[in-house]
Amino acid sequence: MFGHQHTQRIDPLYEINGGGHSAKTVPLLAQPAQDEVVQLTVPPADHDTVEQIRFSLEEMSYTIKVAGGDKTILHNISASFKPGETVALMGASGAGKTTLLRVLAGDVGGKVSGEIKGNGRSLKGTRYQKLSQFVYQEDVLLPSLTPRMELGYLAALKLPQAMSRAEKRERAHRVLEQLNLQGCEDTLVGSVDRKGLSGGQRKRLSIASALLTNPSIVLLDEPTSGLDSKNAEDVVMLLTNLARQGRTVICSVHQPSWNVLTKFDRVLLLHHGRVVFHGPVPCMEPYFERQGVKSPEHVNPIDHIMRVIQEMNPVNTKSPPSAVPEDTKTQKTNRTVTFAERWEEEVHVNIENASPPTGPSQASLCDVGGMVEKEEPEGLFSIKRHAYATPVHTQTLVLLHRAFYDNLCDKRKFVKNCSMKIILALMVGCIWLNQGRPPTNQAIFPLTGAMFLLTNNCVMSTLFTTVMQFPIERTLIQREQRNGAYSLLAAYSAIFISNIVLQFFMSLLLTIPVYFMVGLVLTPYRFFVFLACLALLSFTGCVVGLMVGCAVNDTRDAQQVVLPTIVPLMLFSGYMIPYDSIPIYFKWLYHISFFQYSFAILRINQFVDITFDDCPELSWIPCFHTGVQYLQTPQVDLDPATHPMWFLFAMLAVIMCVFVVCGFFLMRWKIGKKQQ
């Protein structure tokens, strides 16, 4: 495709172990009521089967806390959806479309009442999660991947271990074909500064990601938003074809054209969180005509209906007098009549007068939302109560593979970063060239300055890289985790490991040239201790960056939080202010500063065994004969006898572990926090 950026064909499923080859059962849906045994039988070898679910809502309400009390967003919404249907969820801005979708997706944090049922049985928790997938309005994809790679990684994560790698590759390929993406399967997704897929292709790729597990219910938030009329029609036709395979497809749409709307099977129309119509698309216009809302000629009926509904007073929700039929006025004297109330009346009248149909011919074309439910057999699949299709260690390996590729695929950027580190190392090495050879009293201060610079660089480079990365990736992790791709533990582990490996490599490019150019002690043991200390320090900087990144909302907040977090620990590291000069009420910062422990390790490692050449034994000038004398001074207070190396390393490791745990729980809190 002209102008698109192509990349080398890489299939993650060739690299990642996809598990075994056969199984009788697969983990699907699941947290039933306590002591309830859920058994759904499965065809053993057909992983493309779509379980057909009659999906229904019963008295669904949603309430949030606001200043001054509670606010109800959704009011007793009841509806039923048949497999094979596409449902347009419509309403004016603020009607509750996206809120209802998020309630159905379990992506809200207020109080939800009511019940979601499948085939007459309650669906909740993991059981419901395995049946449904949610496609968000904004497409959040890794710009460095191609559609083939995107689906390859998700297939390795979301498809059961019972499937072989070949089966997973075949499944991903079929989904690409279903979504008409085979022509751009090796085109980069792209970003603002990197040309790639078009808007319609990105939307289809987002839908493809949701279809890998053959969900019975697909929820989409405004899939046509931002697309031109042709692409919008193509997306809706695609959703219709997917529904015909036995899925229930529910998507919110905002002011669709009549051509787009007529491609849906049913409409669920909301106003201020209440249902005002739910039924087949051809029945919507006749229904509102019976309510006194007749569309003028040459006007899109849905535009006119939405305009009349929006003109209702949002406080009193009174209908326009001309829109109220005469018989309704006589029945509802002295009270406000709304479209929602009239819809509830019509639903009750239809239910009271309904008789079970004896055959398809007796089923009404304009059935009232399918409100009469019948409990049916449980379905086609056997259920095991596992939240994810793959274990945590497999998820971590897949995410690590993806993270390393994402970081290393841009070779020009990688070489540029490496070059900058080497140039900085040469500059520092030239400034402190041979300061440690031979060891002298005059070199103590320059050497400690070089060590302080190295500790700061190891922390700050990894910290800023990580703290700027995580707020950007959080949305992707949040969506993939809520759609059942992987656990937060796997995501956190992959981010942590990939960052510490890459950033430690970058730190080596700086520290190794500096070590030899400055003239630090040249023994294998001292060099190993030096590298181990800076490695642990890089790891600590990474987890501090993760912790700060998890705690903030965006990169701007991250920049504002980093300095107040790091500067006090740096200030009380023992270099800028000696320990005996630190006020007693700030000494606790010295004892928790990872800068202090790493700086102490480097100084002890350098000075513990050396003898200074510029201090003769009979000299009357005060000077240090050995490095230990310097370490024992009150200003330094690092006597090797009271500060063993193992203790300093242990304290550095403990601080790092505390930050790791805090970072994980902050990530769990931030991502797990529901949106209201």
Q: What is the pLDDT of residue 392?
A: 92
More confident residue, 492 or 637: 492
Phi, psi of 302 (to 5 degrees): -70, -35
Q: What is the mean pLDDT of residues 159-180?
A: 89
Above pLDDT 90, what percent of the chain? Answer: 14
Q: How confident is the model at residue 366 (pLDDT cuts 50, 70, 90)?
A: low
CB 16 within 8 A of CB 398: yes
Q: What is the pLDDT of residue 127?
A: 67
DSSP per residue, 258-293: HHHHTTSSEEEEEETTEEEEEEEHHHHHHHHHHTT-
Q: How confident is the model at residue 48 (pLDDT cuts 50, 70, 90)?
A: low
**Which numeric CATH code is attached to 12-31+77-352?**
3.40.50.300
DSSP per residue, 361-392: GGS-TT-STT---------S------SSSS-H
pLDDT tens per residue, range 54-72: 888 888 888 888 887 788 8
Q: What is the mean pLDDT of residues 639-645?
A: 85
More confident residue, 613 or 133: 133
pLDDT tens per residue, range 652-672: 999 999 999 988 988 888 776
Q: What is the mean pLDDT of residues 386-400?
A: 87
Hey, how many other C-beta atoms are within 10 angstroms of the C-beta on 296? 7
Tokens of 456: 């700061």
Map tokens 């085939």 to a residue.
119
Q: What is the mean pLDDT of residues 501-514?
A: 87
Above pLDDT 70, what percent of the chain? Answer: 81
Q: What is the pLDDT of residue 3?
A: 47
Q: What is the pLDDT of residue 13?
A: 61
Q: How much is the mean pLDDT over the chain? A: 78
Q: Is the dihedral of CA 366, 369, 374, 375 positive or negative?
A: positive
CB 223 within 8 A of CB 239: yes
Give the Cα separation of 71 and 84 in Å (integer).
Answer: 35
Q: What is the pLDDT of residue 462?
A: 84
CB 400 within 8 A of CB 494: yes
Q: What is the mean pLDDT of residues 345-360?
A: 46
Predicted structure pTM score: 0.79
Q: What is the pLDDT of residue 200?
A: 85
Q: What is the mean pLDDT of residues 365-384?
A: 42
Phi, psi of 384 (to 5 degrees): -115, 145
**Residue 556: pLDDT over 60:** yes
Q: What is the pLDDT of residue 39?
A: 31
- Which residues make Cβ contacts (< 8 Å) with residue 500, sequence separation at least 6? 462, 538, 539, 542
- Which residues make Cβ contacts (< 8 Å) with residue 340, sequence separation at least 6? 75, 271, 272, 274, 275, 276, 317
Give the Cα separation of 443 and 669 in Å (integer).
Answer: 49
Looking at residue 95, its amino acid is A
**Which residues on neighbouring strands pair with residue 274, listed in sequence order?**
271
Give the Cα separation of 642 and 664 in Å (integer).
Answer: 34
Q: What is the pLDDT of residue 621?
A: 61
Q: How confident is the model at residue 373 (pLDDT cuts 50, 70, 90)?
A: very low
Give the relative orientation of helices 594-607 and 555-571 as an angle to the nearest 10 degrees: 50
CB 129 within 8 A of CB 120: no
Q: What is the mean pLDDT of residues 320-342?
A: 49
Map tokens 């070089």 to a residue.
450
- Of 12-16, 48-52, 600-604, the one with minimum mean pLDDT is 12-16
Per-domain residue ranges for the chain?
Answer: 12-31+77-352, 392-672
Q: DSSP letter for 4, please.
A: P
More confident residue, 193 or 500: 500
Q: What is the pLDDT of residue 397?
A: 95
pLDDT tens per residue, range 220-273: 998 888 778 888 888 889 899 889 988 999 999 887 888 888 889 999 999 888
Q: How confident is the model at residue 318 (pLDDT cuts 50, 70, 90)?
A: very low
Give 414: exposed, middle or buried? Use CB within 10 Å, 0-12, 13-18, 19+: middle
Pairing assessment for the beta strands 111-118 and 121-122 based on DSSP bridges: antiparallel
Tokens of 471: 């707020």
CB 88 within 8 A of CB 266: yes
pLDDT tens per residue, range 432-483: 888 888 888 888 888 888 888 888 888 888 888 888 777 778 888 888 888 8
Can you say how many angstroms the Cα of residue 670 is from the centroid of all Cα atoms in its chain? 10
Tokens of 82: 């048949």
- Which residues make Cβ contacts (< 8 Å) with residue 441, sequence separation at least 6? 612, 614, 615, 623, 624
pLDDT tens per residue, range 141-163: 888 899 999 999 999 999 888 88
More confident residue, 212 or 227: 212
- Which range scores top for mean pLDDT: 125-134, 298-307, 512-521? 512-521
Q: What is the pLDDT of residue 402?
A: 93
Q: What is the pLDDT of residue 648?
A: 92
**Residue 27: pLDDT over 80:** no
Give the Cα separation of 205 and 151 in Å (integer).
Answer: 8
Map tokens 């769990």 to a residue.
668
Q: What is the mean pLDDT of residues 316-341?
A: 47
CB 275 within 8 A of CB 284: no
- Of 318-327, 621-630, 667-676, the one with minimum mean pLDDT is 318-327
